[in-house]
Structure 1
Amino acid sequence: MNDVTDDLPQAPRRARHLMDPNAPQRDTINSAGTTRVQKWVMSTLVVTTILHLAGGLLVAAWFIEPDQTAPRVGLSVIAGAFGVLAVAAGLAIHKRPLVTPWLLLGLLPMVVGLVLFV
């Protein structure tokens, strides 16, 4: 028999099917997957909120009298500006370059407004 191993106290055996509070824990708050999901959720919320504002401007332009073209065009242009801001905000959250062809997608509310009201 080996006297060296007999002198050491035996650690209690842990049941593997139970939760072990002494087990090392991973940092799930700052993990790469959590950060990626947070970015996508935040950019989705920001972009859809700003696009709803642009859509609201187009709805407001819809209720202006048809013979008043200037306010309708003005609201359509403002809706396009907010659309560009929405795309730029989404790009900024993902730390992408802001000056890209994707900004042209933000002009879609303005194009829709001009087609409907002019």
Structure 2
Amino acid sequence: MAYTIDRYPSEDSPRLGAMILHPVPESVPRARRWFRKFIAPYNPACSVDDCALMISELVTNAIAYGRSDDPWVVRVEWFREGTSLRVEVHNPGFPVSVRLRHPDANDAHGRGLLLVDSIADSWHHGPSR
């Protein structure tokens, strides 16, 4: 399953970086740290803090909902899209089960995609390549 945060999707976009993460909770802060380190030289026009937050939420979801009978990993990639940044998070799973939730104030979970939806110019999900 792939989540893509993007503005202008294109197959010709240069990949600026990527990381492979084990599906364990410790990978979430690692993804934020690595992204900040690897994106810094590119001085993106977008907010690095917003991107790191979205990556954190999507990696959390990828770990929580990834499914495979074989050992698996989470793959995060980011690409230049003109002046925008496209981020992809891949895991094995079922994209039909992805949905935007509207949790109650007392609910402890269910806000990740709401955060992504409020920050990203656009986002979508579908099968990983």
Instruction: Tell me whether the two structures share a fold, i.e. TM-score over 0.5.
Output: no
Q: What's the TM-score once normalised by structure 1's chain length? A: 0.30
Q: Name the structure where strand makes up a greater proportion of residues.
A: 2
More helix by share: 1
Who wins on radius of gyration, i.e. which is larger? 1
| Higher relative contact order (CA closer than 8 Å, sequence separation 6+) | 2
